[in-house]
Structure 1
Amino acid sequence: MAAREPDWVPGDAWLAPGYAEWAPPAALRGAVACLWASVVPDGADRATLVLPDACSDLVWEQGIGGYVAGPDTGPVRTVTKAGTVIVGVRFRPSAGGTVLGLPLSEVRDQRVALAALLPAAARRLPAGLSPAEAAARAVDIAGLLIAEVAPDHAVSQAAALLRDPAARTEDIAGQVGLSERQLRRRVHAAAGYGPKTLQRVLRFRRFVRMLDAAGEPPDLASAAVQAGYADQAHLTRECSALSGLTPAALARVRAQPSGGSAIMAVPISRKPSRA
C-alpha cells in the first residue's frame, strides 16, 4: 500500500523541524482539540519540558509505534532522539476517557503502549510506518473511536464552566444536572482527575498562553490576576507545582527557541515520550 499524505496539514509543512499544531477535521472537533507533529532535526537530541494541559493524546512515535499519553498533574522532562518524527491526536479534557473507552484516571501521569489498551488500533500503528502513513492512520483511528461512542454532554459542559477560575464545583454540578459525587466520578473518568484539579490545570494553561502571547516578559502580578489567581504568591505556588519552575523561570523557558537541546515547552504542551 502506498503511503498516504495526511490531508490535515498544508503540503509538507508537517515535516518542518520543530512542533506544530493544526485544527482537526470538522467531524472530529467535538472531541479533538488539535492534531500535531513534532520533528526533531538530525544532529542533536531534543530535551523537552512537557506541561500539564488537561488533555490526553493518541501518539505515534517513529521507531516506537503507538501509545496513549495520559493527562499530567506535573511537569515531565523527556529526551527525543535526533531525526525522530512524532505525530499525535490530542483529545479535549472532556473527551479522552470516553473516546479511548477507559477511565482516564487509570493512565494519569503515564505513557501506555497502545497494544495494552487498544490492540486492534496498535496493529494499525506499528513502529515502522512512514510518518505520513502514521499521521493518516492516527486520524482514521480517532475518527472510528469517536464514531463508536456518545459524548458525555454533562462533562463537556462542566469542563467549559471550569475554565472560569471563580466557578465553584458544587454550583457546576447543579448546572449540569449532576450531584457533586456524580460530577467527580464522571470527570475522573473522562478527564483523568477531579473537577478541582481540572480547574487548576485549565487556569495554568491560561497563564501559559499569556506567556506565549507576550512579546516580552509580563508583569507577573498583573498576569496572576488576569489568569485568575488570587495574587502573585498564588501564581508562584501553582506554577511551581505544575511546571517545576517559578513564573519568571517559566517565562524564560517559553521564550527560548525550540531548536538544539535546550529544555523547552511547546505550545499548550505536548506529550511525546517513550511508551
Structure 2
Amino acid sequence: MAPPDGCLDLIYSQSFGLTIIGAMTRAQRFTLAPGTITTGMRFRPGRAARILGIRPADLTDRNVCAVEVWGKRRELQSRLAEISGSEDRWIVFDELVRERLQPPTPVQQAIRALTLSRGQMDLTALAVSAGLSARHFRRCCLEETGLSPKQ
C-alpha cells in the first residue's frame, strides 16, 4: 500500500517499462508479479517538474508510461532495458537528474518548508516568503506538485 505523500515516482521494471506515478490524493495498492525487480527514484513535492520536464498537475492520481509523456526521450527506456543490474540502472537515473538539476526556486523552497512542517505552516506567510500572493502560491503548488498546499 502506498500512502499519499505528495511525491512523484519514476520507476523502471523490465516487465512494465519506465513508468511515472503522479502524486496521490489517496492511498493506492500496486501489485507486482513475484520476482519483479524495480529501480526507481522518488521526487519530493515540487522537484519533478524541472528535472523531468513534465507538468505534475497532469499526473495526479495517475500512473503513465514515461514514453507517452516524454515521447522524444524513448532512448532512456531503451538504455534501461539494455542494463541487467539495478546498480547500473541507478547510474542512468542519477545522470538524468544531474544533467537537469537546478537550484530550487523560491516556490520550491516554500513547498519544501511546507512539506517538512507536515502542512503546519501559515500559507499566507509562506506565500509572502516566496514573493507571491496566497492565491498565486496555491496555483504554483498545484502546478509544481499536482496537489494544492492543503492536500
Task: Name the TM tier (shorter chain).
Answer: 0.7 to 0.9
2:113 pairs with 137, 141, 161, which one? 161
Secondary structure of the corresponding residue to residue 150 of structure 2: helix
2:64 pairs with 75, 88, 112, which one? 112
Please tell me whether the aligned partners of residues 115 and 123 of structure 1 are also in contact (alpha carbons under 8 angstroms): no
1:102 pairs with 54, 69, 75, which one? 54
Q: Which has the higher contact order (CA 8 A, sep 6+)?
A: 2
Query: 1:52 corresponds to which letter in structure 2?
Result: P
Per the TM alignment, residue 152 of structure 1 is displaced from its structure 2 partner at its CA by 4.5
Counterpart of 1:51 in structure 2 is 3
- Count of aligned pairs: 146
> Distance between the aligned counterparts of 2:93 and 2:132, measured in 1?
34
Identity %: 25
2:150 is the alignment partner of 1:192: no
Per the TM alignment, residue 136 of structure 1 is displaced from its structure 2 partner at its CA by 2.3
CA distance 1:192–1:109, shift in 2 (3 Å): same
1:61 pairs with 13, 21, 45, which one? 13
Per the TM alignment, residue 135 of structure 1 is displaced from its structure 2 partner at its CA by 2.8
> Distance between the aligned counterparts of 1:181 and 1:151, measured in 2?
24
Counterpart of 2:96 in structure 1 is 141
Please tell me whether the aligned partners of residues 56 and 93 of structure 1 are also in contact (alpha carbons under 8 angstroms): yes
The structure with the largest alpha-carbon Rg is: 1
> Distance between the aligned counterparts of 1:152 and 1:94, measured in 2?
9
Please tell me whether the aligned partners of residues 169 and 180 of structure 1 are also in contact (alpha carbons under 8 angstroms): yes
CA distance 1:119–1:139, shift in 2 (3 Å): farther
Please list the CA deviations of residues 174-232 of structure 1 after superposition, one character each: whole Å capped at 9, or x if unmatched. Answer: 122101122112111211111111xxxxxxxxxxxxxxxxxxxxxxxxxxxxxxxxxxx
156-165 or 78-87, larger mean C-alpha shift:
156-165
Counterpart of 1:173 in structure 2 is 127
Please tell me whether the aligned partners of residues 56 and 144 of structure 2 are also in contact (alpha carbons under 8 angstroms): yes
Counterpart of 1:74 in structure 2 is 26
Q: What is the TM-score when the length of structure 1 is the normalising length?
A: 0.49
> Distance between the aligned counterparts of 1:145 and 1:56, measured in 2?
16
Q: What is the TM-score when the length of structure 2 is the normalising length?
A: 0.84
Deviating beyond 3 angstroms after TM superposition, the runs of 4 or more aligned structure 1 residues are 126-129
Please tell me whether the aligned partners of residues 97 and 103 of structure 1 are also in contact (alpha carbons under 8 angstroms): yes
Instruction: Give unpaired runs (5+ residues) of structure 2.
Output: none
> Distance between the aligned counterparts of 1:51 and 1:139, measured in 2?
25
Instruction: Trace 1:195-274 onto structure 2 (pairs within 5 A).
Output: 195-197=149-151
> Distance between the aligned counterparts of 1:68 and 1:145, measured in 2?
17
Secondary structure of the corresponding residue to residue 77 of structure 1: coil
Instruction: Give unpaired runs (5+ residues) of structure 1.
Output: 1-48, 198-275
CA RMSD of aligned residues (A): 1.9
> Distance between the aligned counterparts of 1:187 and 1:86, measured in 2?
29
Secondary structure of the corresponding residue to residue 109 of structure 1: coil
